[in-house]
Amino acid sequence: MASESRQNITAGIFVLAGIALATVTLITIQRLTIAPRTAYQVDFGVTEGVGGLAPGADVRVGGLTRGDISRIEAIGEDGKPITGPGQRLASLRVHIEVDDTIQIYSDAVVIRMLPLLGSSGYLNFVKLGGGEGATLLAKDALIKATSSPGMLATIVGGDNAQKLGTVVDNVERLSELLGEQVPKDYDELVRPSLQDVRTVIADARAQWPTWSGNVSTTLSNAEKSSEALLAGLTDARTLIDDARRPVQDLSDMVQRNAPKVNDIIDRADKISVDADLLITDLNSKAMPKLLSLLDDADDAVKQISSTLDVLKPEILRQLPQLRTMLSDLRVASAELKLATIEVRRNPWRLLYRPSSDIIANENLFDAARSFALAAADLRVAGESLNQIVAADPQALAADPALAESLRQNLSDQLKRYQQAQVDLFRIILGDR
């Protein structure tokens, strides 16, 4: 008995171990074979409905099974699942799970498909999206379902079913438009027009006895006019025959000169193209540079004008000195010319040693010259002051800096004049 009990226990342990090993193996295989999935939500309208869909139904991509439906919820107007009575149904939300390898974009198209036989349906993504401006959907993103064409999609395909559905919708809208507009147009346009036609016919019938005589007379006149027209056409035919010869000559001349005319037109076209290119080049390159140059020139003129306004008083003040300087330059050039001539004629004078009398005379001449120059500078300073006052009497009052400059210049020239005068008198008295 004890040996049989041990055998039973051993067999039980072996069976349990086998079951546990099979369970672990099955779980491992499922983990290795079942791909990870991403959850999404698909909203259907109440009119469209979710007939044929149920938890566990397939979710296909282009007809290939790539997921399934996890659950279906009724959504209220607040966007939340309906949990009790008294809430109004707004949409039906289908929760799906799709393989992670499938990327779904915001412009994806998903429709409800129904088989020809049976009542179980499935969801089919006919387009995953990814067009311009589309974004990749995140986990649990909401997708708006496209109106389902029912069994028509199974027969002709998703794209053709959508096109047929669009055609049916357009026909329905057209029939609604015609049903509303045609009776309205008939009452407002056709019926009044028929009434007007009836009135016009009645008036014409009443007036016909009066018009019949005039109509007969008019027809007789038209017959006479047609006879005159035939005669005129005969004459016109003769004139046309006479004019045909000059026209033919003109046509021959045009044909002979056609190559020259075409050549002239081609040259004119080329000239016009070159002119357009030249004008375009001038507008794009030369004109901006010319405008920039004019702007720079305008700025330079303004700067020169402002500079001249600043320098005008100084120029007026220095004008007598400039004139004196030019006069001195002319005198100096003449003296230099004479000295050159004297040296060329008498070069031995360069080695001549002057006597004390000559040196004294030279010193006297230098002092006299310095005195004359100082007197001339003093006179120039006085003339500058007079010219500035004469040109603008308010210049000294309006510009203290200019007044101070003129005063300082006049003072310096007066000191030089006094010093030159003292030096000249000292040499003259020393000689005595």
**Mean residue pLDDT across the chain:** 76
DSSP code of residue 79: S
| Cβ neighbour number for residue 96 with a 10 Å cutoff | 25
- Residue 11: pLDDT band (50, 70, 90) is confident
Residue 94: pLDDT band with limits 50, 70, 90:
very high
Q: Which residues contact 30 (CB under 8 A, 6 or more apart)?
A: none
Buried b (16+ CB within 10 A) or exposed e, 104-129: bbeebbbbbbbeeeeeebbbbbbbbb
Return the ∠ at Cα 140 (arms to 137 and 146), rounded to 5°.
65
**How does residue 72 score in pLDDT terms, banded at 50, 70 and 90?**
very high
Of 67-71, 207-211, 225-229, 319-323, minimum mean pLDDT range: 319-323
pLDDT tens-digit readout, 154-168: 555 555 656 655 666
* Alpha-carbon gap, residue 313 to 319, rounded angstroms: 10
DSSP 228-293: HHHHHHHHHHHHHHHHHHHHHHHHHHHHHHHHHHHHHHHHHHHHHHHHHHHHHHIIIIIHHHHHHH
Output the pLDDT for position 399: 76
What per-residue confidence (pLDDT) applies to 432?
Answer: 47
Sorted by sequence, the CB contacts under 8 Å of residue 165 that are 6+ apart come out as: 147, 149, 152
Of the ranges 131-140, 219-228, 316-325, 397-406, the best mean pLDDT one: 131-140
Are 316 and 381 spatial neighbours (Cβ–Cβ below 8 Å)?
Answer: no
31 vs 182: CA distance, rounded Å: 67
What would you measure as the largest C-alpha separation in the chain, in angstroms? 177
Residue 293's Cβ-side half-sphere holds a number of Cα atoms within 13 Å equal to 6
CB-based burial label for 156 (10 Å; 0-12, 13-18, 19+): middle
pTM above 0.95, yes or no: no
For the stretch 168-175, contacts whose Cβ atoms lie closer than 8 Å and that sit 24 or more positions apart, written own/partner, are none
Distance CA 391, CA 385 (A): 10
pLDDT beyond 60 at 150: no
Q: What is the per-residue pLDDT across 375-431, written as a single tens digit (0 to 9) for each?
A: 777 777 777 777 777 777 777 777 777 777 777 877 887 888 888 888 877 877 775
8-state DSSP, 159: H
